A and B are shown apart, each in its own frame.
Chain A
Amino acid sequence: MSTAAVVSALMVGALALGPARLPAQAGAGGVAGDAGRGRQVYERYCVQCHGERTDGAGEVARWSQPKPRDFRQGIYKFSSAPYGFLPTTADLDRVIQNGLYGTRMPPFAALSTRERRDVIAYLQTRSPRWRTEEPGTPITIPAEPASTREAVTRGRELFEANCTRCHGDGTGNGPSAVKGMVDDWGMAITPANLTLGRGKWARTARDIYVRAMTGINGTPMPESADALTPEQVWQVAHYVQALGGWAGSTRELRQFAAQLPLPGEASSAP
């Protein structure tokens, strides 16, 4: 029984050693997470890459490519809002839950909703942008039209006209890529290989549509909302979907796309 008392005393004593909590702070965009608790979440799961100062200079950052995000700048690559705007809480939550495929950013789907909400609230305290700007409004995504041979054919033409310079034949071997590209942080960056059937962020044709429409912040990937109509962007998305085993792609359209001239091939032929 005395040991039980010791156990109890130890536990009660330990409770008193708890860390001082930062004041609860709602982040921008009406997020009701607890930034203080979010810092605890960050220190457990994120600090090794993103660093104690959230500057992207964690102890494994030197071995990471692409480099971990510097949250002090408030620039987030993947957003459902137009290029240049802050992402929504849902955008940040998606990256936390799904991770970024092929990078050191793992999926944290096992974290509770509260943990994710709290760490987002903490991240939103790390850049002054969150105090002066509101997150962008997500783009409107029209209903996805059926992916057909015609759409894929038209999508290939649009891809050739708008994307080949960087993405080349879809594998990321365009002239600009060969020449060398850098992102806003001065780091070398390569265009995505779209034939792999999955992007860092994108999984479906809808995701490809969002990326094509809004671009990728901080990178040479521009938004195409001004250059292409939604219908055209869907066609590009369906062509890209047919380049690899993307979720929702069909074998029939993949085989069809494989028979088409590679982007850049027809125009460069003598």
Chain B
Amino acid sequence: MLPTKRFKTFAISLYAGVPLREDTVTKVALTPFVLRRGTESYPETTQFREQLEHLYGAGFGFDVYKRGDYQIVQFRMDTINDSFVGGDEQLLDRSFAFLGEVLTRPAQENGHFRTSYVQAERETVRKKLESIVNDKMRYAAERSIEEMCKNEPYRLHPLGERKDLPGIEPDTLTASYQEWLQQASMDLYVVGDTTLEEVENLVQRHFNVDRTSSSDYQTQAAVRGDKEVETVVERLNVSQGKLNMGLRTSITYGDPQYAAALMYNGILGGYPHSKLFVNVREKESLAYYASSRYDGHKGIATIQSGIEIPNYEKAVTIIKQQLEEMKSGTISDLEMSQTKAMIRNLLKEMQDSAFEMIAYDFNRQLSGKERTAEELLAQVEHISKEDVREAAEQFRLDTIYFLRDEKEE
């Protein structure tokens, strides 16, 4: 927890993580959807949501996502500080009570989740999985990961697999939930105008759960990328082609080279001054967006761009040239200083957002790596071109994915 008077709210975040596994991924994903339907005290969904409105429309939400080879369920609450609404409404206490009940005392019937909730939320998850194709940028990003990681759990979508849904019944889901509640790694965060003492007291009162068999996160080694580059072309009815590339790297979040990998990504495609934006968009007018992202938890980097379909070869060539420049250390002093300034800005800006501070600390829990934002910043400042070039050697192109139209050439 972090006591501060900087914000007008209390930010509460609960992370529950389990290893990403084919046999549990869909049940775990479905669980928070059912939990947000009702609790013992507010069994009807309208009552549940009205209660949030009584708390001055407390923000309540959840997400299910992948971090490395873990499937993380995150619940968030964002409740305003009582002092702005002129009262002693005990909004923090009531928010903890609410979140605690969501997690530990769901609405039940006959010893399991309400059947109607399980049925409706199965449909909701199914629709969400099916709707991924609607957003072509996101669809291409997810398909390229799926192709690249087809022999690992990471290929799985965090919301699971459609084929599993019909087989998940209220009793099996309830059993899976109870196991998850006991075994998942759980981290609870609070940022706001409160004290550790108050928070400890609130946790004891509202999160009454026996967790004797819970486990900590284990760090995982990155998958080695030493195979030939694979190219996958998929056809759909689209106007714009989506070119996505996946790279493997041995450098992960806890690695001493992590700061150099951040610089690598920043120079390559993290920003509008980066090689990809400048060369693919500004010099060649090939794309509206062209960027890269680095995921240190999994040890991969991705490149994404939306291009005119006939420009595929040209775009691939230009992007590969940028990767070669990174490997040969063709990096200017300006690229170094600009990228350092941008990373510095990102790490400092985090301090202004309660949820971002929480997210940064959660990386520590997940990776087992103690490294404050200040320490990371200091490491970035000391990175040389040679360090970036060495990091570049640890990034290997693995998969090229192209989503294009259905017309024959």
Are A and B co-members of a single complex?
no
